Chain A
Amino acid sequence: MIVEALIKIAIVLLVVLTAVSYMVLLERWISAWLQDRIGPNRVGPFGLLQPLADVLKLLLKEDIVPKASEHWYFWLAPVISITVAFSVLAIIPFGASIVLFGTSYTMAIASNINIGVLYIIAMTSVGVYGITLAGWSSGSKYSLLGGLRSSAQMISYELTLGLGLLSVIMLSGTLDLNAIIHSQINGGWNILRAPLGFLLFLISSFAETNRQPFDLPEAEPELVGGYHTEYSSMKWALFFLAEYANMITASAVMSVLFLGGWHIPFLDVSTMNPTVAGLVGVGAMALKMFGFIFFFMWVRWSIPRFRYDQLMDLGWKVLLPLGLLNIILTALEKTYLL
């Protein structure tokens, strides 16, 4: 049992870390293509070895710890960020189950957690500590402002995130991610059953992952680098890694909650070979996640950053009332339609 979990952890970490480094490349490509440029194409064929070069560069950089910083928390902050970003992946079901050598394995590290959704909310809330601590412990005004903005933004958008999520829980009546997927297989994807909830969740996950147009914590033009201004070398890279890992996590969560996880509509996998069926499920999940990740990047290179007061206005005056409205609508839908 433990061995199985450890192997799964190793696989997930390996895949996600590789995916993260290639997402950086993908982001650079997409930014280039959207601006009529070509993008990295020098290192290796089509620039495919660029991530390796980047990692090497980051490892060889000097690691500077400012004198004015609170050293212990300065060290701790990136660790919290990256840990939290990865820990959510522990409960994501990447596929139904796969049969290998006659034994059936579930496709999640901790598959039988029955409070999955609650765990996601809890862990993403902890994520803000990494950024806030980084901002405070750096001993720099830009970092502090970035950290403060981040905490304000996260608290504001966590509400909307929760309210968007609530509609999913109301529709499926469970907190278990596997059960939520099964309810979607039976009753249609949640994006169709709760489109407003999906929209709210999508918008607030942009804020939760600190991506454009909500990347105020690091707003380069005004805050230099925001919370990671004072960070360099691998400590900075950990924040970078955490941002992209957060994107993966958010994409995975959205795929599971709203797009039916590994489910492919109009395809009956029960007649197929169980091993193939499992792999097809993983492929479907990966495709959905890729779609979201592409969307994240597409938005980043299309929409300008919000001003801070606009961000707060949007969060409290627009999204929160919409979230409450969404709850009522979902309740009505649940009572009268389903």
Chain B
Amino acid sequence: MSLKYRSKYNNPKPKRKLTLWERVYLPEIARGMFTSIKHLFRPKFVRQYPEEKWDAPSSFRGRPVLVMEENGAERCVACGLCSRVCPPLAIEVQASETELLKERYPVRFEINMLRCIFCGFCEEVCPEEAIVMSKDYELTFRKYVDAIYGKDKLLTPKKDLKDRLEFLRQLRNS
């Protein structure tokens, strides 16, 4: 039993016998060297990062942001679903009343960017399409408190998020 097991999984494939041409070795080395020298003249794959930024596709899950309507108010109704679903507990919402039609709005909306794992659950769960993932992937902080993004940093005009909103609509319809 154990022998059978061993023969099936532990034995490597039998080696192919090398031809004389391959055993002379030098021609194969020459072939390898030719292959590598070809790459000297190929276009390079490297992006010069800080100068040359990567343009993320609309499916990219970057920093989560709050959608801001044209009138300057956020779409968020402070239902707290995002904060509830957030696996690393990065979102904190404090609700209050407003004169607007939606009646509720978040007084405080904070995402701790050191906790955020960019899973996109908040965006998925949001009934109002109020929190979406942006294309921003450049996040640096010098202090711990700087990593807690409040409404001032999270609110983004709707027209900047057109790509993502369109993508989400397609995703839901499919």
Chain A interface (Cβ within 8 Å of chain B)? 30, 33-38, 298-299, 301-303
Contact = CB atoms under 8 A, between A and B. Distances in A.
A34 B44 contact: no
A205 to B, nearest CB: 16
Contacts, number: 35
A38 B44 contact: yes
A35 B44 CA distance: 8
Contacts of B40: 30, 33-34
A298 B33 contact: yes
27 contacts: A30-B40, A33-B40, A33-B44, A34-B36, A34-B37, A34-B39, A34-B40, A35-B39, A36-B39, A36-B42, A36-B44, A36-B45, A37-B44, A37-B45, A37-B46, A38-B44, A38-B46, A38-B48, A298-B33, A298-B36, A299-B33, A301-B36, A302-B29, A302-B33, A302-B35, A302-B36, A303-B33
B12 interface: no
Could you tell me the dominant secondary structure of chain A's interface residues? loop
Could you tell me the dominant secondary structure of chain B's interface residues? helix
A33 B35 CA distance: 13
Contacts of A33: 39-40, 44
Interface string B16-46: 0000000000000100110111011011111
Contacts of B42: 36
B45 A298 contact: no
Interface string B41-70: 011111010000000000000000000000
Contacts of A34: 36-37, 39-40
Contacts of A298: 33, 36-37
Contacts of A35: 39
A114 B43 CA distance: 51
Q: Which 5 A-B pairs have the closest CB atoms?
A: A302-B36, A38-B46, A302-B33, A33-B40, A34-B36
A296 B35 CA distance: 16
Given A36-B42, A38-B44, 19 more contacts: A30-B40, A34-B36, A34-B37, A35-B39, A36-B39, A36-B43, A36-B45, A37-B44, A37-B45, A37-B46, A298-B33, A298-B36, A299-B33, A301-B36, A302-B29, A302-B37, A303-B29, A303-B32, A303-B33
Nearest to B47: A38
A321 to B, nearest CB: 14
Contacts of B29: 302-303
A100 B72 CA distance: 82
Nearest to A295: B33
Contacts of B37: 34, 298, 302
Contacts of B45: 36-37
Contacts of A302: 29, 32-33, 35-37
Contacts of A38: 44, 46, 48
A36 B37 CA distance: 11
Contacts of A303: 29, 32-33
B42 to A, nearest CB: 6
A36 B44 CA distance: 5
B46 to A, nearest CB: 5
B45 to A, nearest CB: 5
A299 B45 CA distance: 22
A37 B49 CA distance: 13
A36 B46 CA distance: 8
Contacts of A30: 40
Nearest to B40: A33
Nearest to B34: A302
Nearest to B37: A298
A108 to B, nearest CB: 33
A30 B37 CA distance: 10
Contacts of A299: 33
A301 B44 CA distance: 16
